[in-house]
Structure formats: C-alpha cells, structure tokens
C-alpha cells in the first residue's frame, strides 16, 4: 500500500454537507464538507461500540453516531455523549482517526499515511484539472495495481483493446519501429510519439485527415497516468488515478478532459465523452481482470515475453518498482 501520498476523492463541487463513504488503502473513511466550506474526513467507526458512523447523520460539522448519538468533531474527538449528565467527563480515549484533506485544482484530495507529513508532500499538480471541461467515473475491480497504472500509457494496446471505441482517432502508431522519446523523471515518466488517424469518413470530417496525431504520455508517481492526444487545436486528455482499495480490488478514477472539442455544444461534448470514456475503461477492465486471474491461477509460473515495442511498459515497471523499494 502506497502511504504518505495524496489521493483523489471527488470533484470539489460534488462534496456537500452530506456523508460520503470511501474505502482507500483498506481504510473505511467518511468525508463531508462543513458549513464553513472546510472538509472533514474521519475513520468510519464509532469508538463506543464499533459501528459505522456512516449509519449516522450530520449535525453541522459534527457526525452523530446513529446508535447512541455520540457526536464527533472535525478532528475526530468525541464532543458530546447524550447519556452523560452535565459535568461528566468525556473519556479522552473517545477519539477516532481524522485525515488531512485539501481542495486543490478543483478536486478534493485526502492524505493517507503519517499525518505530520501531509504538509511536506504536495498533491500531483495537473493544471488542466482546474481549467478544462471534464467527465469522470470510478471503477472498482479485481486487478493488479501495477498493471492498472500501466495500462493507459501502453502505446500498442489502443488499436486492439479499444478497436471498437477509439481506435480510429487514436489510431495506429505512425512510425515503425516507434520512437517513444521516453524520459525518466524524478516523479515519473514521459514520452511522445505519433499516431495516424485511421478513422471513418465521419470522424475524418471532424478530426481531420491527420497523419501525425501527437500523443503524449506521462506517469506521475505515485498513481496518475496521463494520455494526451492532439489533433490540430483539439486536445483530448485522459487521466487515470489508481489505488488499492483492499487486498483484492483496485479503484480507478478515470477523468477525461478536453479542449476545443464541440466547444459550441458543451453539454453534448460532456455526454459524448462520458459515453466513450465508460466504454474505453470497460474494455481495459476485461483485460486487466483476465491478467490477474491467470496470474493467480498459475502462481506466476509463466514469464512474460516482451519485445522492443514494450519499451514504455518495461520502463514504467522499472521506475515504479524502484520507487516502491525506496518507499519501503
């Protein structure tokens, strides 16, 4: 589990004075916005009789346990016990874990790990998240975290896994053998290469007869992969934020952003992108799940066979594993 990192929760404008439940790195968490716009994130457990606080309700910035009404403040300290008489002391151990949070680039982030380190470490800064229209969806499925993080930036899978959704304008890789112009950075990897549009007539009308569609890939350690495709002034940007939910499941938040695509019809653009994105992720999940199933069944007895074209994946894994070792 990758601790001491900031994780994405949801778009800032979705978080209201209502309880939302999440499971992140095996921990059950409730999160809500306080009336003064700050955010509270607490362990989803009442320390009185160990039940989920998410079964309770909010009273301004306090969460009230649904069982016997104990109230917790934004730091997770119990602030009221209805069965006590005036003057009775609240036991100092009546406290649950709270988590640092942030509104950053119009998303809510939560810090998982050693609370004191939250100030030294920044969330991943992707300015487009703050500026461009987007659509997003969360998916929880059984898969290997590394394979999931790698899937978006794997260049050769698009024309095959996504042959029924986006092959046409994300197209075939232009040069063969392709040069991915890969660079290993301190906080990830980046690369650039070209694709050709092999689209239908309709798509060619819109996306152009573009022979050299610039494709940029980026991985931001610890857990956001980025794929950016430019056709003339139009830009499609896909972000995939992955994390371990528990021992078996990973969660992927797929965020699709765009610029200059159907700019006169923003509602249509959103509808179109949401539909396409969902299809794309479902296609990926089939393969990620299949991969995990075979790994589990065969207990890693089969080595993979890799070729030059797997350069991006191999570089990603090398970087990722080195980082994981450093963190341990």
Which positions from 101 through 140 interact with ligand FES, judged by CB under 6 A?
A: none
Q: Does 49 bind ligand FES (CB under 6 A)?
A: yes
Q: How far is the CB of 50 from ligand FES (least distance, A)?
A: 7
Closer of 64 and 158 to ligand FES (Cβ) = 64
In total, the chain counts a number of residues equal to: 328
Q: Compute CA distances 225 → 14, 154, 187, 243, 323, whole Å.
A: 23, 10, 12, 12, 15
Which parts of the chain fold into alpha helices (H)?
Answer: 128-131, 145-151, 158-161, 167-170, 201-207, 266-298, 311-327
Spatial contact of 299 and 282, defined as CB atoms under 8 Å apart = no
Q: Does 72 bind ligand FES (CB under 6 A)?
A: no
Q: Does 284 bind Fe ion (CB under 5 A)?
A: yes
Q: Is 240 in the site for Fe ion (CB under 5 A)?
A: no
**Shortest distance, position 65 Cβ to ligand FES, whole Å:** 3
Contacts of 298 (CB under 8 A, 6+ apart): none
User: Of residues 19-58, which lie at the interface with Fe ion (CB under 5 A)?
Assistant: none
| 249 contact, one of Fe ion, ligand FES, none, CB 5-8 Å limit per kind | none
Kindly tell me which residue out of 48, 80, 317, 323 binds ligand FES, with binding defined by CB under 6 A: 48
Site for ligand FES in 177-216 (CB under 6 A): none
Nearer to ligand FES, 81 or 153 (CB): 81
Q: What is the DSSP letter of 93?
A: T
CB of 26 to ligand FES, least distance (A): 22
Q: CB under 5 to 8 A by kind: which of Fe ion, ligand FES, none does 184 bind?
A: none
Q: In this structure, is the dihedral angle defined by the CA atoms of residues 230, 232, 233 and 234, taken in order, positive or negative?
A: negative
The interface partner of residue 51, options being ligand FES, Fe ion, none and the CB cut-off 5 to 8 Å by kind, is: ligand FES
The CA-atom distances, in angstroms, between 21 and each of 48, 63, 214, 249 are: 20, 13, 39, 16
Contact with ligand FES (CB under 6 A) among 67, 262, 272, 287: 67
- Of 6, 22, 32, 70, the one binding ligand FES (CB under 6 A) is 70
Of 36, 44, 56, nearest in space to 98 by CA:
44
When asked if residue 65 is in the footprint of ligand FES (CB under 6 A), the reply is yes
Residue 23 buriedness (CB in 10 A; 0-12 / 13-18 / 19+): middle
- Shortest spacing between CB 68 and ligand FES, in angstroms: 3
List the structure tokens of 317: 């894994």
Please say which residue, 91 or 177, places its beta carbon nearer to ligand FES: 91
Among 9, 29, 39, 46, binds ligand FES (CB under 6 A): 46
In 10 A of CB 71, how many CB atoms?
18
Nearer to ligand FES, 67 or 156 (CB): 67
Cis peptide before 177 (omega within 30 of 0): yes
Partner that binds at residue 46, options ligand FES, Fe ion, none, CB closer than 5 to 8 Å by kind = ligand FES
Give the DSSP letter string of 199-210: --HHHHHHH-S-
Binding site for ligand FES (CB under 6 A): 46, 48-49, 51, 65, 67-70
Binding site for Fe ion (CB under 5 A): 284
């Amino acid at each position: 589990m990758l601790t001491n990192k900031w994780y994405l929760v949801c778009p800032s404008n979705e978080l209201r004075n209502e309880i939302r439940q999440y499971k992140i790195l095996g921990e059950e968490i409730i999160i809500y916005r306080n009336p003064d716009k700050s955010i509270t994130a607490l362990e989803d457990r009442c320390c009185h009789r160990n039940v989920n606080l998410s079964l309770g309700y909010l009273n301004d910035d306090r969460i009230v346990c649904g069982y016997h009404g104990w109230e917790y403040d934004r730091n997770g300290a119990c602030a009221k016990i209805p069965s006590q008489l005036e003057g009775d002391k609240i036991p100092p151990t009546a406290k649950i874990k709270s988590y640092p949070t942030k509104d950053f680039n119009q998303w809510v982030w939560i810090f998982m790990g050693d609370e004191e380190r939250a100030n030294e470490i920044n969330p991943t800064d992707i300015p487009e998240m703050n500026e461009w229209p987007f659509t997003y969806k969360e998916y929880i499925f059984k898969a290997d975290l590394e394979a999931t993080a790698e899937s978006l930036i794997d260049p050769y899978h698009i024309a095959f896994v996504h042959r029924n959704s986006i092959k046409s304008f994300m197209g075939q890789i232009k040069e063969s053998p392709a040069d991915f112009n890969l660079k290993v950075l301190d906080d990830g990897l980046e690369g650039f290469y070209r694709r050709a549009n092999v689209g239908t007539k309709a798509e060619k009308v819109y996306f152009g007869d573009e022979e050299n569609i610039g494709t940029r890939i980026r991985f931001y350690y610890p857990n956001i992969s980025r794929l950016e495709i430019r056709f003339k002034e139009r830009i499609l940007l896909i972000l995939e934020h992955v994390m371990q939910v528990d021992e078996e499941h990973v969660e992927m938040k797929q965020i699709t952003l765009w610029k200059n695509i159907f700019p006169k019809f923003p509602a249509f653009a959103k509808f179109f992108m949401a539909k396409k994105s969902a299809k794309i992720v479902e296609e990926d999940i089939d393969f990620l799940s299949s991969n995990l199933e075979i790994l589990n069944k065969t207990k890693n007895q089969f080595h993979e066979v890799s070729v030059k074209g797997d350069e991006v994946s191999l570089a990603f894994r090398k970087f990722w594993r080195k980082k994981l070792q450093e963190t341990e």
